[in-house]
Amino acid sequence: MKKLINAPDDVVTEALHGMAAAHPDLLTVHFDPTYVIRADGVPDGKVALLSGGGSGHEPMHNGFVGQGMLDGACPGEVFTSPTPDQMQAATEALDAGAGVLHIVKNYTGDVMNFEMAAELAEASEVEVQSVVVNDDVAVEDSTYTAGRRGVGGTVLIEKICGAAADRGHTLDEVADLARRCNAEVRSMGMALTSCTVPTAGEPTFDLGEDEMEIGIGIHGEPGRQRMAVEPADQVVERLMEPILSDLPFKDGDDVLLFVNSMGGTPLIEVYLAYRKAQEIAEQHGLRVVRNLVGPYITSLEMAGLSITMLRMDDDLVDLWDAPVHTPALRWGV
């Protein structure tokens, strides 16, 4: 696998320098320990939102730092949890007197390190709440996870909670909102190809020329089933059915439908899949009131996609529509 990189060990640092150079109006990157925070500072008295996790899923999370979404993000090495000192430093830097919400995807390292960082920050008198996102219906327990993995729902929760924090909601309120969203969101992914971690230099897993993996994790963790590649419409059905039945989504529900590229899948294929996903949702009696289509939580150059559905109500629609200004999501500004 060829990559456009210099030394494999420098990929994350050099990409962060690139983000800082491209978006000085939106974000500032600190090194040693490494974290990204919004350039304009957290307004006094606003709850701060911090997320983070292994790199390689860009634009998540650094690309969501800015007004109306995350106040900060801690990038680890590729597919590797950031360390507690990164999270502690970011938490303390972000606190504007109203506390800091940690939005944590459910991977063992992330959960453990964010817990440790929360304890360290609380020792410095920063109030912290943590919400663990675990929206992936594919499998219980996985290579790096006890319980369900956190995937695409994270993007939606970061946007919606960012808007609530902007409106002056308290730490408890924003944390409750994040938990409520997590309870109402379900996801599942699939892959046509593996990806290659730069420092590993070899594909994370092997898939035959005519195979796909249904229920793949965002680090290439095994899913439910490895099988022959099928037409896209059948693939979308294989993802939508478990999502629909798990919550379950019910006739008359309003939903946000998010069809995500794993990175290597062309946008033309993502829209083709969106078409079928919306059709299935509507056949199920759902009303797709908002959507998101494109590469937002990726796995390097992995070809594949994931589908996420969040049950919406008027409050959530209003928070979703609120202004956001980050490198990857922007409207109303």
Catalytic residues: 57, 219
Query: With CB under 8 A as the contact rule, which of the stretches 96-104, 127-135, 161-169, 228-236 interacts with a copy of itself?
Result: 228-236
The tokens for 145 are 């996870």
For the CB of residue 210, give the shortest distance to a copy of itself in the complex, in Å.
Answer: 7
Window 58 to 77, contacts with a copy of itself (CB under 8 A): 58-59, 63
* 304 belongs to the binding site for a copy of itself (CB under 8 A): yes
Query: Please, which residues have CB within 8 angstroms of residue 184's CB and are 6 or more apart in sequence?
Result: 247, 310, 311
Considering the complex, state which of residue 138 and residue 270 has its C-beta at the smaller distance from a copy of itself: 270
CA separation for the pair 30, 286 (Å, rounded): 44
From the list 70, 103, 185, 212, which residue makes contact with a copy of itself (rule: CB under 8 A)? 212
Lookup result for tokens 């892959």 = 191
Window 90 to 129, contacts with a copy of itself (CB under 8 A): none
- DSSP letters spanning 180-201: HHHHTEEEEEEESS--B-TTT-
DSSP letter at 293? E
* 3 belongs to the binding site for a copy of itself (CB under 8 A): yes
CA separation for the pair 144, 255 (Å, rounded): 29
Quickly count: other Cβ atoms within 10 Å of residue 149's Cβ.
Answer: 27
Considering the complex, state which of residue 226 and residue 330 has its C-beta at the smaller distance from a copy of itself: 330
* 155 belongs to the binding site for a copy of itself (CB under 8 A): no
Is residue 296 a contact partner of residue 302, using CB atoms and an 8 Å limit? no
In 3D space, the residue among 219, 178, 199 whose CA is nearest the CA of residue 316 turns out to be: 178
From the list 242, 247, 291, 317, which residue makes contact with a copy of itself (rule: CB under 8 A)? 291
The tokens for 330 are 């922007």
For the CB of residue 161, give the shortest distance to a copy of itself in the complex, in Å.
Answer: 21
Query: With CB under 8 A as the contact rule, which of the stretches 134-142, 216-224, 242-250, 293-301 interacts with a copy of itself?
Result: 293-301
The tokens for 103 are 């939005």
Q: Residue type at 18? A: G
What count of residues does the chain have? 333
Dihedral-angle region of residue 304 (phi above 0 means left; psi in -120 to 50 means alpha; beta otherwise): left
Window 229 to 288, contacts with a copy of itself (CB under 8 A): 229, 231-233, 235, 263-276, 278-279
* 17 belongs to the binding site for a copy of itself (CB under 8 A): yes
* 14 belongs to the binding site for a copy of itself (CB under 8 A): yes
Considering the complex, state which of residue 36 and residue 111 has its C-beta at the smaller distance from a copy of itself: 36
Interacting residues with a copy of itself (CB under 8 A)? 2-7, 11-12, 14-19, 21-22, 55-56, 58-59, 63, 78, 192-193, 209-210, 212, 229, 231-233, 235, 263-276, 278-279, 291, 293, 295, 298, 300-301, 303-305, 325, 327, 330-333
